[in-house]
Amino acid sequence: MSEEKSLNFIEEIIEEDLKNGKYKNILTRFPPEPNGYLHIGHAKSICLNFGLGLKYGGQTNLRFDDTNPVKEDTEYVDSIKEDVKWLGFNWANEYYASDYFDQLYDFALQLIKKGLAYVDDSSAEEIAALKGTPTEPGKDSPYRSRSIEENISLFEEMKAGKYKDGEKVLRAKIDMAATNMHMRDPLLYRIKHAHHHRTGDAWCIYPMYDFAHGQSDSIENITHSICTLEFIPHRELYDWLIEKLEIFPTKQYEFARLNMTYTVMSKRRLLQLVEEGHVSAWDDPRMPTISAMRRRGFTPESLRNFCEKIGVAKRENMIDFSLLEFCVREDLNKSALRAMAVLDPLKLIITNYPDGQTEELISENGPDEAYGTRTVPFSKELWIEQEDFMEVPAKKWFRFAPGAMVRLKSAYILRCDDFVKDANGKVTEIKCTYFPESKSGSDTSGLSVKGTIHWVSAQHAAQAEIRLYDRLFNVENPSSEEGDFKDYINPNSLQVIPNAYIEPSLKTAAIGTRYQFLRKGYFCLDKDTTADKLVFNRTVTLKDAFVKK
């Protein structure tokens, strides 16, 4: 990365606007619909909107775009607030589009009074049939020429609950022959007798996205309303409504949404994964949601760095999941506490170590001296990884094999003398000799070895369940494959190790503390931990072990 990052196109626009004195201060907003948990794509939008506010001494509002009563819920509102805060951002104001329902209703009446909106009794099918196609103009609805008075009273009756869902809609009166289909008398209001998470049963008509969104931006005096590319065709309507209502002229700018490999990124699909039990919850650590990433041990810094690295583009592209993992690793390498855990245990017995003796060995706690040290108990019987012993060593094998010498991290050099196999030929135990004068920190043995491995003392070890994660999908872009995206779920995306051995200091691990289990990756305590059972998630491996399938 270069030191001086060039401006992205939105920053260029803002700098120009500030230079010309168009605005003294900028005000952006992040406008989630509270119909699901936020995903990494939303993190991109959060970092962009809040980042611009911070960079240019302006502010950012958090606005819940809650105009669709059926799918929205306060559970989602709470999770969204938690996620934004966790990412490290503070909103200037917490607003709800539903707070503006009175004002929006008033705006609609103004349009009717200007002859710019009408009540249409047509069904959704009838409206669609007259809509035309991109190459053919639409046709006027038979209700298009209703008088202003009639429209006012019908709209009031709609609000008063006189009609059933779908019986009438309010439409803008623009141009049924417009090249932009969104300008062919778009819907402004629909009837929906549904309970709203904030306004309860006060309303039975709800504004459509296009009517609520831009007007909310304008009510809040948002200077730069940033959204994703699919809203480009909506911009003409956005501007038309603001112009006709003669309200604060917010401007809409569009950037490319974030797409990432081996996952799906739409709340609708994520909801399916949760509801159909393909994952345990919205925050299942395999999900691309912010809450899942937090639970898995990703840091807010790493997510912000990731969003910074991918930049702000005007064309859609696909970002490799490995880049996100790279950012996580980069951050954890600087900050995670070091500890030892054995995931696939093999017993090691030190034949010349006194029975019943224990030593408290000193080991570094973190990546540098500032983190200090901790003690790790050492005794005659230890656990090491199965994979650190080879009966018939490969070339350049620096770990245990018959006769081979290896250093145990922060402990001693040991020589493997013998091993024991069970009836199936599996090695169940190795027997070693240790060299007392080779103790780490005061080694006078003169021995030199190439391999250092991790271990835990069998007598002192605690046990933990360890969950290892892989990609949730087997293909790069499950949404674009033939058939259902769920056909491409990776059946091995979760591997549970029920009884790993961990060093005793980890018994007091806290949620939110990140560890590097030496040679095994980065881990954190999971919220499923109970008084009797510790559960750790692997956040990410130490190196990019992923190979494209």
Return the SS3 of 160.
helix
DSSP character string of 401-436? -TT-EEEETTS-EEEEEEEEE-TTS-EEEEEEEEEG
Number of residues near Mg ion (by CB under 5 A): 1
Q: Judged by CB, which is closer to Mg ion: 33, or 364?
A: 33
Question: Which residue in the shown chain puts its C-beta closest to ligand ATP?
Answer: 41
Rounded to whole angstroms, the Cα distance separating 98 from 171 reads 20
Rounded to whole angstroms, the Cα distance separating 381 from 459 reads 7
Q: Judged by CB, which is closer to Mg ion: 58, or 288?
A: 288
Residue 450 C-beta: closest distance to ligand ATP, Å: 47
Query: What tokens appear for 368 in the block?
Result: 């540098």
Residue 285 interacting with ligand ATP (CB under 6 A): no
Binder of residue 141, out of ligand ATP, Mg ion, none (CB less than 5 to 8 A by kind): none
Residue 258 interacting with ligand ATP (CB under 6 A): yes
Rounded to whole angstroms, the Cα distance separating 216 from 98 reads 10
Catalytic residue selected from 29, 173, 267, 520: 267
Q: Catalytic: 44? A: no
CA nearest neighbour of 29 among 198, 188, 214, 209: 214
Catalytic residue selected from 29, 171, 190, 257: 257
Return the SS3 of 303.
helix
Residue 33 interacting with ligand ATP (CB under 6 A): yes
Residue 265 interacting with ligand ATP (CB under 6 A): yes
Residue 395 C-beta: closest distance to ligand ATP, Å: 47
Cα within 13 Å of Cα(523), Cβ side: 29
Please report, as residue ranges, which positions from 37 to 66 form the binding site for ligand ATP (by CB under 6 A).
41-42, 44-45
Binding piece for ligand ATP, criterion CB under 6 A, among 30-38, 315-323, 344-352, 493-501: 30-38
Q: Catalytic: 338? A: no
Catalytic residue selected from 33, 82, 156, 308: 33
Binder of residue 224, out of ligand ATP, Mg ion, none (CB less than 5 to 8 A by kind): none
Residue 271 interacting with ligand ATP (CB under 6 A): no
Looking at the DSSP bridge assignments, the partners of residue 362 are: 375
Cα within 13 Å of Cα(505), Cβ side: 21
Residue 429 C-beta: closest distance to ligand ATP, Å: 52
Query: Do the bridges between strand 456-457 and strand 337-339 make them parallel or antiparallel, or are there none, so unpaired?
Result: unpaired
Binder of residue 44, out of Mg ion, ligand ATP, none (CB less than 5 to 8 A by kind): ligand ATP
Residue 214 interacting with ligand ATP (CB under 6 A): no
Residue 227 interacting with ligand ATP (CB under 6 A): yes
Q: Judged by CB, which is closer to Mg ion: 33, or 239?
A: 33
Query: What tokens appear for 384 in the block?
Result: 């090491």
Please report, as residue ranges, which positions from 23 to 62 form the binding site for Mg ion (by CB under 5 A).
33
DSSP character string of 444-477? -S----S-EE--EETTT-EEEEEEEE--SBSSS-
Binding piece for ligand ATP, criterion CB under 6 A, among 123-131, 259-267, 349-357, 524-532: 259-267
3-state percent breakdown (helix, strand, coil) of the chain, nearest 5: 30, 25, 45
Among 122, 199, 266, 445, binds ligand ATP (CB under 6 A): 266
Binder of residue 280, out of Mg ion, ligand ATP, none (CB less than 5 to 8 A by kind): none
Q: Catalytic: 295? A: no
Residue 267 C-beta: closest distance to ligand ATP, Å: 3
Number of residues near ligand ATP (by CB under 6 A): 15
Query: Do the bridges between strand 373-378 and strand 359-364 make them parallel or antiparallel, or are there none, so unpaired?
Result: antiparallel
Return the SS3 of 68.
coil
Q: Which residues touch 482 (CB under 8 Å, ≥6 apart)?
A: none
Rounded to whole angstroms, the Cα distance separating 442 from 45 reads 53
Among 221, 228, 440, 513, binds ligand ATP (CB under 6 A): 228
Rounded to whole angstroms, the Cα distance separating 415 from 405 reads 4
Residue 32 interacting with ligand ATP (CB under 6 A): yes
Query: What tokens appear for 76 in the block?
Result: 């989602």
Query: What tokens appear for 194 in the block?
Result: 């549904």
Residue 310 interacting with ligand ATP (CB under 6 A): no
Question: Which residue in the shown chain puts its C-beta closest to Mg ion?
Answer: 33
Q: Which residue ranges make up the site for ligand ATP (CB under 6 A)?
A: 31-33, 41-42, 44-45, 227-228, 257-258, 265-268
What residues are annotated to the active site?
33, 257, 267
